[in-house]
Amino acid sequence: MMPAQNSPRRLVALASCVGVLSYAVARVGGALILRPQLVSPLWLANVVLVALLLLVPRKIWPLLLFAGLAGFLVYDVQAGEPIRSIVSFILSNAVEVLTASWCLSVAFKGIPRLNSLKALAKYSFYAVFLAPVIGAFLGAFAVPNNYWTSWRVAFFSEALGFLTLMPAILGWISERDTWVRERRTYFIEQAALLVALIFLGRLAFATPTTTGHPALLYSLVPLLLWSTLRFGTVGVSTSIIAITFLSIWEAVHGRGPFTEPGPIVNVASLQLFLFFTAAPFMTLSVLVEERKRSEDALTAMSGRLISAHEEERTRIARELHDDLSQRMALVQIGLEEFKQDIPGLSCRAEQQLDNLGEILSDLSSDLHVLSRRLHPSLLESLGLVASLKRICKEFFTQYKLEVQFVHRDIPSEIPGDVALCLFRIVQEGLRNVAKHSGVSKAEIELFGNAGQIYLYISDSGHGFNIEAAHGAVGLGLISMRERLRLVGGQLAIESGLNCGTRICARVPKTGLETQ
């Protein structure tokens, strides 16, 4: 939302800009008037004024509303409208703008964001239905035609604007910070989509009535689906606006599938086509964004669970190392002192004490190993490569699994979350090799190339059918995928019966220095 403008000079400048913009948008609406019916199938002036009011504090609404209505008044006078029509237009515009602005501001407590079906339903009721209905009851008096015919045209001309242009304006403003971080390819894709839409729109709407093919209208559907799935409500509303302007502009000039023989344009068919084109795609885009929000929430929850898991591992590892290991050391020392302080022990008793000492020593070593597995402290002190070398030795000691570790071009500084992710993947991968492969050898490759860090864990063991096991993936592989997704990486698995298994992990290393 725009900050409050306290300076009178700034308020006057802002009101002047609103008045000029309202006049300009009214001129655009006037250019879309269809003759000889003298009606405009799309009126965007009120939509723009409502969007401006939603972006500023309510205390300056009266000033900006007055400036916007003044811009409309200047246009109506220049257009030669009779006094009765001007009064009706101004009253209907004022009531409609106030109704939409107040209801949306109260319902959304700020700028509307159409990122859920509930939000879309609220927005549609207040902006697409209620405000146009109220405005049409007053605006229909301004047109010297049948009242209910004029009411229907006035309603759809306003509803179309609120359904298409308003989400685009609010989306352009609310997502401006996000667009700054997008890559150049994102904007190239948007431009390509818009060019293709204009090209096909020209083919569909610019052909004369006698030679046109209404089936060309279906060629726009794939582009609208593309816009919906890739760019959300902002993309689809922008695309629909482009289609709306193309269709109306060509109808104004007597071309396209909505013109009848002679200069008559079927306004009702044109408006219904645009309305029922925009509504389902807007709904679909909201569903896509709602699903994306749910996936983002699940990803965030997964990240928090993994972080909590790692924190708990760290706590337990510290307790094992600092508390239990020291107690075990004290027990060993006490047992040795007990053995020395008691003279005349039998050989059998002395042997039993030695056996207990060995058991305690082995138990202490196992505690150290368990502590390192729970929390690889070497990652913080020596780095990823040294930690992986250590874990390879541990797997050979415990499972007799010989691991060949090869590494090259590894960044000298790797973020802690990325290093921990790769370490856990190696840990889980080697555990799977030891338990399921049936072989005693494995290979690990770790290298950097083309802005990525690649990790491969391979064995020549039993393998498995990936398609058959797709629905029964273990928690280990699920954990690998989740960890990689949290650091922007990807996981692939190559395997087959009696053909071994190869785990492939890829993590971006942008901005890291290499050795």
d(CA 514, CA 481): 25
The amino acid occupying position 61 is W
The crossing angle, in degrees rounded to 10, of helices 61-78 and 83-108 is 150
90-94-98 Cα angle (round to 5): 175
Annotation: CATH topology of 1-174? Arp2/3 complex 21 kDa subunit ARPC3 (1.10.1760)
> Pick from 407, 359, 414, 351: which is nearest to 382 by CA?
414
Q: Quick check: helix, strand or coil at residue 183?
A: coil
pTM, to two decimals: 0.69
DSSP string, 342-383: STT--HHHHHHHHHHHHHHHHHHHHHHHHHHHHS-THHHHT-
Residues whose CB falls within 8 Å of the CB of residue 206, separated by 6 or more in sequence, listed in order: 246, 250, 255, 256
Q: Quick check: helix, strand or coil at residue 490?
A: strand
pLDDT of residue 4: 46
pLDDT of residue 509: 66
Pairing of strands 501-508, 490-495: antiparallel
Give the domain ranges of the chain. 1-174, 292-375, 379-515
Give me the residue label for tokens 């500084």: 413
pLDDT of residue 98: 95
pLDDT of residue 37: 54
Residues whose CB falls within 8 Å of the CB of residue 332, separated by 6 or more in sequence, listed in order: 357, 360, 361, 364
Give me the residue label for tokens 């990240």: 303
- Write out residues in the chain with pLDDT < 70, as ranges: 1-6, 35-39, 144, 208-214, 260-265, 303, 310, 314, 317-323, 325, 344, 368, 371-375, 377-378, 466-475, 509-515
pLDDT of residue 3: 46
CB 458 within 8 A of CB 419: no
Annotation: CATH topology of 379-515? Heat Shock Protein 90 (3.30.565)
d(CA 251, CA 206): 8
